[in-house]
Each structure stands twice: as C-alpha cells, then as structure tokens.
Structure 1
C-alpha cells in the first residue's frame, strides 16, 4: 500500500501544460483499440519460459479500501501473471496527480464525474470508462457516546457541538455533503459547527474519537467501521447521485492488465462483495461520455 506522497515522487516532471496533456491522436487511438481487443478477445499462448508477473497500478478512493482488501487478492489469484500496486487517497487529489502524469494504469474515484473531467481533457483511454457501483450519503455518530440526534431531520433542532464533513476542495464526499447541507438549508444554520477534514477517513476519526458529535460520509466509508454507527440516510434528491467509476488513464503502461481488472469488477462474486461493504448495484449502459452527451 502506498501513500499519496509516494506517488508524487514517482511522477515524471512535466514542464508545460501542453506537454502534460498532449498525447498523439494516433497513439491514443492505438491504445484504445488495444484495450477493446482485451475486452472482446481472449487468446492463450503457452509461454516457453514463465514470465515474471506484470504490475497494474491502481489509484483508488479511500472509501474503496475496506472492500479492496478482499477484492484485490481475488483478482491476483485469478490473474497470476499480474501483481496489483494500489494507491489510496482523496479522489480529487488522485485526479490531479493523474493530470500531472502520475504512473497510473487504472483510476477508481468515488464519483464518476472525476473520470468525466479527465476524459474531457483527453486523459482517459477511449472505451474504458465504466460505472460499476453506487452508494448513499449517511449521517454518522460514534459508538462510545449517545448520539445527539436520531435522524437527519433532527439536525434542524438539536444542539450540536461539531459536525464533521470532508473538505469540498479536496474530497468528493465533502462536495456531496456540502450539496446536502445547502439543499436542506442547513449550511447557514450549522456554519459555525462544521469541521472540515481532508478526506472521509479523517471524518471517521473525528467522530470515533468524539471530537465531532456527528459526521456525513458515504455508506461505504462507515459500514465496516466498528467505532461508527449509521444514524440515517440523506434523501437521494438532496445531492448528486454517488456513482463509482473506473477507467484506464493516459499514463497506463499495462493496458491489458487494466482491461482485465475493469472486467473483473463486473463479476457477480465481486458485485456481491461490494454490496457487503455498502455499495449498491448500478445498471447503467456502458457508454462513453461523448455517447451519453449525444443522447441528451
């Protein structure tokens, strides 16, 4: 497991914005066609010499950490020629690292919109974007102390010392939590009580330690934490849908392995594991951004 700081040390220094984003059209097309070949064709050739496992580098949102502790070993067991290197962090931070040229094969943010933003800049390999799961936004409290409220409706009347949310500038969960507070007209009322944390794990820590009475995170963040209890779900129409996406990005070196991993997430066994960790199934036509825009 690697930290966000470790990825920066491995990132190739890029001198200009044009050089960061420039990928020859022909090269990008060839990479996209290669990926599509991975999705549609399986060709097995007996190797004359056993090859060393290749590495697939994955950048994943913090809220995937608990589920991936089980999923990644299963993937490696099914693909003995692949080793997985995973870097966890806030989705917005990971996205910025990818823009700057971080050596990543697969990007898994907690909001598919982060992939769409990269796709608009030409930094996603065509045909690789998928939505594979969703989740809900929940109100949480610690297990050690009595919760000051029982539901999201009580936020309007209860006396609260502090409520922790992710920083909207650095985390997707913070952006969605801020949307909920604004939609519910609680942003002004709770302005002095809101404590911002860098990411969802930091929100969980503040609540578990009693430094904040309440917190707002994704269900996927809270469901496996024994020091946290979920009090209530935020209404679905109070924020944008929370859809987890995956894509191979422009810095990918192991496109074949990236395709194998993206396909693996759709297996029934893996979808069941995701549901055990607070994810919801998503039935979405698997099309690219441009196709979806054309249909609007």
Structure 2
C-alpha cells in the first residue's frame, strides 16, 4: 500500500525542476559591457568559462549610456563595465552598484581615423576644419562616452563652432568605426582598440589628447541574482590572466 499522497510524485518533480532551474541560473553571469569591449570581453569570457566548468557568461554589448538605462529599468544584469567614469558615477548615484565592488580595470586612447583609401589625412585636429572634411563622426555625446571624450578634446582645441555642422553621430563607438570603414564619413573619433579591429579598412591619422583619461570601471549590480559568480568574473577580469587578454586587444592597465 502506498503511504504517500498521490500528489507527492508531481510535487517532488516540480521541486526538482525548480531547483534545477536555480542551479542553472547560479551558473550564469550576465555582463553588460561597453561596445568597445566586445572582442576583448568575448575572449575574457571564454577564458573564464574554462577556469569555471559549467559556468556561462552572457554578454550584452552597447554604448554605456543605454546599458545604464536598461539596468535602471530592471534588466537582469550581474556585472556592468562602462567606457567612462561619468556613466558609472551615475549608476552609483542611483544606488545601482553593489557597495565596494567598483574598480578600474583598463585604459584606452582616443584616436582620429580615416578610411584606408583617404586621399587627405589630417595631421592635427585643426585640419578637420578644412573643406576636405565634410562629414566627421563620433558617438552621441549624451549617451556614448567616446562622444563626450571627443567633444571635450574638440572644445579644448577651440574647434567646437567650426566642426558643429559636420558631425554624424553614432549610437556606439562601433557604429562610428563602421561609418569610417565603409567610407561613409571623412573621419571619425574612436578608441585605438577599435581602430585595430578594422586596420585594413581604416588608418589612424593621429592620437587625440583627452582632458580626462579614457578609463574603464567595472562593478557588480546591487540587484544581481548571482552575486558569487559575478564576483568571480570581476576578479578574473582584474587578474593577471584577464589583464593579459585585455592587453592583447590593445588595452592598457588602469
């Protein structure tokens, strides 16, 4: 005679499935990262998964501003890596970051690139005011860090008014890179690491001095569903192995 209720089997099965779902979730870390980190972080993620059998890193790459907006709207994110301090400051001000987890992990350089087939290559920023440069691209300053770095440098050079009618804004630094690679604009401001990705279709004209360093902070999100794995991923990014991978893609240490 069966001494257990009829529903026992189904309940046990349901509980097992639920626990299985939780276990699977515990093995996945969701990382929202700046578009300029795409190639490097994909390599970092693969290396991390090899050291953590069963773990899965799911990436969401976009401009830092839109990524922050997604987190503010409740997107399930465990770790956030932005391309500037300003965006991470906004995240901290909104109490979105897990206390004590924010840290800088990489630096980059702002450069001016032109199509590989360009007949005219600027030797200095002031050259962009000439007639040979009618369409110049950078990221939308309000949401894309590379746009803010660009505008600060342009203002410092006294070129704000001269370049104002020439701007073609991109939704991310990668879109700016694509504009230049496809010869759709005469020049564009991107990070050196991005320029290296399309070195057959673009060429670096000059390195652009920035008023503030191009530094990348990373932090765990306060509402993270997987705190332990998120902490491990951040630690891996900052480890010697993680830093070597980043350096391989042109980033420098913080």
TM-score interval w.r.t. the shorter chain?
A: 0.7 to 0.9
Q: CA deviation at 1:154?
A: 2.9
What is the aligned counterpart of 1:190 among 160, 163, 171? 163
Could you say which residue in structure 1 is the equivalent of 2:32? 59
Q: Does 1:251 align with 2:228?
A: no
| Map of 2:76 onto structure 1 | 103
Deviates more, 1:126-135 or 1:65-74: 65-74
CA pair 275-151 structure 1, distance change in 2 beyond 3 A: farther
* 8 Å contact from structure 1 (residues 148, 213) kept in 2: no
Listed as ranges, the matches of 1:108-123 within 5 Å are: 108-123=81-96
2:204 corresponds to which residue? 230
The SS at the match of 2:238 is: coil
Indicate whether 1:220 and 2:193 are aligned: yes
The aligned counterpart of 2:5 is: none
Q: Which residue of 1 aligns with 2:51?
A: 78
Q: Which blocks of at least 5 consecutive residues in structure 2 are unaligned?
A: 1-22
In 2, are the aligned partners of 1:149 and 1:158 still within 8 Å (CA)? no
Give the whole-Å Cα distance in 1 for the aligned partners of 2:227 and 2:54. Answer: 14
* Pair 1:163 & 2:127 matched: no
CA contact (8 A) 1:63 1:221 kept: yes
**Rg comparison, structure with higher value:** 2
Give the TM-score taking structure 1 as reference length. 0.73
Q: Distance in 1 between matches of 2:125 and 2:161?
A: 16
Deviation at 1:157, TM superposition (A): 4.8
Deviates more, 1:267-276 or 1:70-79: 267-276
Determine if the alignment matches structure 1 residue 126 to structure 2 residue 99: yes
Q: What secondary structure is seen at the aligned counterpart in 2 of 1:191? A: helix
Task: Report the alpha carbon displacement of residue 153 of structure 1 after superposing the two structures with TM.
Answer: 4.6
Aligned-partner Cα distance in 1 for 2:80–2:202:
28
For 1:96 and 1:158, the matched residues in 2 are separated by 38
Separation in structure 1 between the aligned mates of residue 194 and residue 172 of structure 2, nearest angstrom:
10
- Give, in whole Å, the separation in 2 of the partners of 1:136 and 1:103: 31
Asked if structure 2 preserves the Cα contact closer than 8 Å seen for 1:168 and 1:175, the reply is yes
Root mean square deviation of aligned Cα: 1.7
For 1:179 and 1:281, the matched residues in 2 are separated by 23
Distance 1:219 1:246 in 2: 20
- TM-score of the superposed pair, with normalisation by structure 2: 0.85
Once the two structures are superposed, the pairs formed by residues 23-38 of structure 1 within 5 Å of their partners are none
Assess, with a 3 A threshold, how the Cα gap between structure 1 residues 276 and 71 changes in structure 2: closer, same or farther: same
Match of 2:60 in 1: 87
- In structure 2, the partner of 1:291 is none
User: How far apart in 2 are the matches of 1:158 and 1:240?
Assistant: 30
- SS of 2:148 mapped into structure 1: helix
Alignment counterpart, residue 127 of structure 2, candidates 154, 161, 181: 154
Measured in 2, the distance between the counterparts of 1:163 and 1:156 equals: 10
